[in-house]
Amino acid sequence: TKQSRTILVTGGAGFIGSHFIHRWHAHYPHDHILNVDKLGYASNLDYVKGLSPGSYTFLHADLADKEKIHNLLVRYEPDHIFHFAAESHVDQSIKSPEAFVSSNINGTFHLLEAVRHLWTIQNRLHEARFVHISTDEVYGSLRLDEPAFIEESLIKPNSPYSASKAASDHLVRAYHKTYGLQTLTTRCSNNFGPHQHQEKLIPTIIHRAIHHQPIPIYGEGKQIRDWLYVLDHCEAINLVFNKGRAGEVYNLGASNEWANLQLTSYICDQLNEIKPSKKLKDYKELITFTDDRAGHDFRYGMDASKAASELNWKPRYSFKEAMKTTIDWYLAKYEGEREIDS
Ligand code: NAD
Selected catalytic residue, list 47, 56, 139, 161: 161
Pairing status of strand 182-188 against strand 249-252? parallel
59/164 Cα distance (integer angstroms): 24
Task: pLDDT band for 292, please (50, 70, 90 cuts).
Answer: confident
Structural domain includes residue 30: yes
Sheet holding 249-252, edge to edge: 56-60, 32-37, 6-10, 80-83, 129-135, 182-188, 249-252
Ligand 1 lined by 159 (C-beta under 6 Å):
no
Specify the pLDDT at position 341: 54
Yes or no: say if 158 and 295 are a contact pair by the CB < 8 Å rule: yes
Give the residue-averaged pLDDT of 304-326: 98
Atom of ligand 1 nearest to the CA of 16: 26
Instruction: Name the residue type at position 123.
Output: N
Structural domain includes residue 161: yes
Give the residue-averaged pLDDT of 43-48: 97
pLDDT in tens, 177-215: 999 999 999 999 999 999 999 999 999 999 999 999 999
Atom of ligand 1 nearest to the CA of 107: 18
Question: Ligand 1 centroid vs 272 CA: distance in angstroms?
Answer: 31
Yes or no: say if 116 and 179 are a contact pair by the CB < 8 Å rule: yes
Instruction: Provide, rounded to the nearest whole percent, the portion of the chain with pLDDT above 90.
Output: 94
Structural domain includes residue 172: yes
Question: Ligand 1 centroid vs 147 CA: distance in angstroms?
Answer: 27
Residue 238, pLDDT above cutoff 90: yes
Strand partners, 218: 290
pLDDT in tens, 317-334: 999 999 999 999 999 999
Active site residue 136: yes
Ligand 1 lined by 216 (C-beta under 6 Å):
no
Question: Ligand 1 centroid vs 275 CA: distance in angstroms?
Answer: 31
Ligand 1 lined by 230 (C-beta under 6 Å):
no
12/37 Cα distance (integer angstroms): 6
| Residue of the CA atom closest to atom 28 of ligand 1 | 84
Task: pLDDT band for 54, please (50, 70, 90 cuts).
Answer: confident
Q: Which residues of 149-179 are buried (b: 16+ CB within 10 A; e: fewer)?
A: bebebeeebbbbbbbbbbbbbebbbebbeee
200/227 Cα distance (integer angstroms): 13
Ligand 1 lined by 187 (C-beta under 6 Å):
no
Q: What number of residues does the chain have?
A: 342
Yes or no: say if 288 and 220 are a contact pair by the CB < 8 Å rule: no
Structural domain includes residue 150: yes
Specify the pLDDT at position 340: 60
Ligand 1 lined by 23 (C-beta under 6 Å):
no
Give the residue-averaged pLDDT of 152-156: 98
Is the alpha carbon torsion for 42, 45, 50, 55 positive or negative? positive
Give the residue-averaged pLDDT of 220-225: 94
The per-residue DSSP string of 100-153 comes to HIIIIIIIHHHHHHHHHHHHHHTT-TTTSEEEEEEEGGGG----TTSPPB-TTS
Domain count, the chain: 1
Question: Domain range holding 23?
Answer: 6-195+228-255+296-317
Structural domain includes residue 129: yes
231 by DSSP, 3-state: which?
A: helix
Give the residue-averaged pLDDT of 218-226: 94
Question: Ligand 1 centroid vs 149 CA: distance in angstroms?
Answer: 22
Q: Which residues of 239-248 are buried (b: 16+ CB within 10 A; e: fewer)?
A: bbbeebeebb
Q: What is the pTM of this model?
A: 0.97
Ligand 1 lined by 13 (C-beta under 6 Å):
yes
Question: Ligand 1 centroid vs 276 CA: distance in angstroms?
Answer: 33
Yes or no: say if 226 and 254 are a contact pair by the CB < 8 Å rule: yes
CA 184 to chain centre: 15
154/161 Cα distance (integer angstroms): 17
Active site residue 31: no
Atom of ligand 1 nearest to the CA of 192: 40
Question: Ligand 1 centroid vs 3 CA: distance in angstroms?
Answer: 29
Structural domain includes residue 1: no
Specify the pLDDT at position 165: 98
Structural domain includes residue 166: yes
CATH of the domain at 13: 3.40.50.720
Interhelix angle 15-27/230-243, nearest 10 degrees: 60
Structural domain includes residue 204: no
How high is the mean pLDDT of the chain?
95
Ligand 1 lined by 9 (C-beta under 6 Å):
no
| Residue of the CA atom closest to atom 35 of ligand 1 | 134
Residue 1, pLDDT above cutoff 50: no
Q: Beta-strand (E) ranges in the chain?
A: 6-10, 32-37, 56-60, 80-83, 129-135, 182-188, 190-192, 215-218, 224-229, 249-252, 257-259, 287-290
Yes or no: say if 113 and 179 are a contact pair by the CB < 8 Å rule: no
Specify the pLDDT at position 201: 95
Give the residue-averaged pLDDT of 270-298: 93
Residue 276, pLDDT above cutoff 60: yes
138/168 Cα distance (integer angstroms): 10
Alpha-carbon distances, residue 58 vs 169, 195, 235, 319, 327 (angstroms): 26, 18, 22, 32, 29
| Residue of the CA atom closest to atom 9 of ligand 1 | 14
